[in-house]
Amino acid sequence: MNNEDHMSSAAPHTGQMFRIQRLSALEILDSRGRPTVQATCLLADGCDGTASIPSGASTGAAEALELRDGDPRRFRGLGCRQAVAHVNDTLDRALSGQAFPTQAALDQALRQLDGTANKARLGANAILPVSLAFARAASRRQGRPLHDYFAELRGTRSPTLPRPAINLFSGGKHAGSQSPLQDVLVVPVTARTMAEALAMIFEVYQCAAELCAKQYGMRLLRADEGGLAPPFASAGAMLDDAVAAIRAAGFKAGEDVSLAVDVAATHFHQRDGYHLGPRVLDSHQMIDQLERWVERYPVVSVEDGLAEEDWEYWPRLRARLAGRALTVGDDLLCTNPARISRAIQIGAADTLLLKVNQIGTVTEALEACQLARSAGWRVTISARSGETEDDWLADLAVGWAGDQIKIGSITQSERLSKYNRLLEIQAATGWPLVPWPGRAKLDEL
Ligand code: 2PG
Ligand code: MG
């Protein structure tokens, strides 16, 4: 990437120690009204940081464990009181009074205290909010914006903002499975800034809402991430309607605004194959179907086109889409360095969907990001379908130079807190969006 500023080891803030004075947490509710965890890290010099974490609905099997209380009389078993207690008791007792020179040192201590491969003992929902709260406290102590703190962890600062892929329509686990395809997103490929991108997509979203009112006799039935969720007749109808909305907004589909799809195929894959509507497809047929969508519609990114354990077929999918659309791994990779390494070895994908809570600490998520980059992959930084108003994701996506960011729709405050934070960063830095590679350039991947 051009204009990268490689931060040298002479960065002004290295050599500091961050002494933890107190760790605390409480149970709060996410955008689906389900419990999640917010943690605060108070440093000995009085700087503090608070962070809350999101939760998925279409989760990958290899994700770090989210500890739920399991008491059916309280939040239908979804309570997070045990995870909260692990912060207030176990982690506070073990870490308060200790000094850490780096984020990596703190995250290593958190991992050791848990001692399991998937954070099953303390819960990723106890560990991650502490890891993020520490990041925020440390960035405050250094008097620098959080995105700059994340950039220093990466060792490089890129003066760009990630290009948003914005949720327009939802089905699957995000909208009661009225359509198998989980999300259709719009990518403002010609927008030069975040502000321009949001203004373009506002127009497309309004046109899509009007189209839903006319075509389906409904308007405001929104899915988990704020996307529209009418009873589409088929996955193809979702794509047709998305193209119609782009055109109605006065844009050229495939030139000004393109499409990205999160197929989330794991969630309609059964023993006998892919249940795409009334049809059951084997892996070959599923790849054919995905290719047909990419040929017929301006789709530039295909996430989880195949199921998370269909490893054998992922390289074939990537080869078929190469040069036309990104092959993005979410459930397949689970932001897990071991799974990413396997995917790199066999050429199963060319883009990492990065979700920090899939792995459970800032440092391990950064490792996943660096690993993907080292293979020449692109990185899409993603929110979850259950979010909070916290906006750390925006800073992380800028600091780690995400190519794309997936936050959801441009409605609902848990989404807008991140978009608005990106607008603040744009205003403070003047940084443009990272250029979209375009179909031609995708050939290089
Ligand atoms: C996904 C995410 C975000 P969830 O599948 O990519 O859209 O959904 O948080 O439900 O896993
Ligand atoms: Mg996904």
Q: Give the Cα separation of 371 and 13 in Å (integer).
A: 25
Q: How far, in Å, CA of 224 to CA of 227, rounded?
A: 7
Q: In this predicted structure, what is the pLDDT of residue 222?
A: 81
The model carries a pTM of 0.95
Cβ(58) to ligand 1 under 6 A? yes
| pLDDT given for residue 210 in this prediction | 94
In this structure, the strands spanning 48-52 and 35-43 are antiparallel
Q: Determine which residue's CA is closest to atom 5 belonging to ligand 1.
A: 58
Q: Are 410 and 205 in contact (CB under 8 A)?
A: yes
Looking at the CA of residue 385, tell me the nearest atom of ligand 1.
9
DSSP state of 373: H
Q: Are 404 and 381 in contact (CB under 8 A)?
A: yes
What's the pLDDT score for residue 9? 40
| Cα of 95 from ligand 1 centre, angstroms | 32
The Cα 217–Cα 227 span in angstroms is 16
User: Which residues are tagged catalytic?
Assistant: 225, 355
Contact 82, 123 (CB under 8 A): yes
> 254-265 pLDDT, tens per residue?
999 999 999 999
Tens-level pLDDT at each residue, the chain (445 residues): 445 677 644 344 556 899 999 999 999 999 999 999 999 999 999 999 999 999 999 899 999 999 999 999 999 999 999 999 999 999 999 999 999 999 999 999 999 999 999 999 999 999 999 999 999 999 999 999 999 999 999 999 999 999 999 999 999 888 877 889 999 999 999 999 999 999 999 999 999 999 999 999 876 678 999 999 999 999 999 999 999 999 999 999 999 999 999 999 999 999 999 999 889 999 999 999 999 999 999 999 999 999 999 999 999 999 999 999 999 999 999 999 999 999 999 999 999 999 999 999 999 999 999 999 999 999 999 999 999 999 999 999 999 999 999 999 999 999 999 999 999 999 999 999 999 876 544 544 4
- Would you tell me how many other CB atoms lie within 10 Å of the CB of residue 342? 15
Q: Is 330 a pocket residue for ligand 1 (Cβ < 6 Å)?
A: yes
Distance, CA of 85 to CA of 311 (rounded, Å)? 38
Pairing of strands 183-188, 163-170: antiparallel
Joined together, the tokens standing for residue 291 give: 């290719």
For the stretch 362-379, pLDDT in tens is: 999 999 999 999 999 999
344 to each of 81, 198, 297, 324, how far by Cα in Å? 38, 33, 28, 19
Note whether 72 and 344 are within 8 A (CB). Answer: no
pLDDT in the model for residue 176: 79
Residue at token pair 């119609």: 244
DSSP state letters, 207-263: HHHHHHHHHHS----B-TTS-B----SSHHHHHHHHHHHHHHTT--BTTTEEEEEE-
What is the bridge-based pairing of β-strands 183-188 and 326-329?
Answer: unpaired
Structure confidence at residue 219 (pLDDT):
62
What gap in Å lies between CA 42 and CA 134, rounded to an integer?
A: 8
Do the beta carbons of residue 392 and residue 146 sit within 8 Å? Answer: yes
Query: Is there an atom of ligand 1 within 6 Å of 335 CB?
Result: no
Q: Which two tokens stand for residue 272?
A: 């006998």
The strand pairing partners of 137, in sequence order, are none
Q: How far is the CA of 100 from the centre of ligand 1 (A)?
A: 33
Which domains are seen in the chain, by residue range? 18-143 (3.30.390.10), 156-444 (3.20.20.120)
Ligand 1 atom closest to Cα of residue 382: 3
Q: Is 172 in the pocket of ligand 1 (CB under 6 A)?
A: no
Which-ligand-closest: CA of 385?
Answer: 1
AA identity, residue 433: L
Atom of ligand 1 nearest to the CA of 60: 11
CA–CA gap between residue 394 and residue 426 (Å, rounded)? 11
